[in-house]
Amino acid sequence: MHLHTTSLVIDCIREKDSGSYKVMAINSEGSAESTASLLVSLREEQSANYLGFSDCRTC
């Protein structure tokens, strides 16, 4: 079994980046999909330098 990781990077994240994100992978062994919801809520004096989301699926 091979383990692969994937990342979604959103530079300069803003509230308008909030929403649902979906990824789908298909190969000869089958398919897998994952959905994540992101809510961005920043205070005026706050900056978003890093936001991480990790979800691991195996099929």
> What's the number of domains the chain is made of?
1
pLDDT band of 19, cuts 50, 70, 90: very high
pLDDT at 59 over 50: no
More confident position, 52 or 35: 35
Q: Which domain holds residue 12?
A: 1-59
At residue 50's C-alpha, the angle toward residues 36 and 2, to 5°, is 55
**pTM attached to this predicted model:** 0.55
Say if residues 40 and 47 touch (Cβ distance below 8 Å). Answer: no
pLDDT at 46 over 60: no
Q: What is the mean pLDDT of residues 22-35?
A: 90
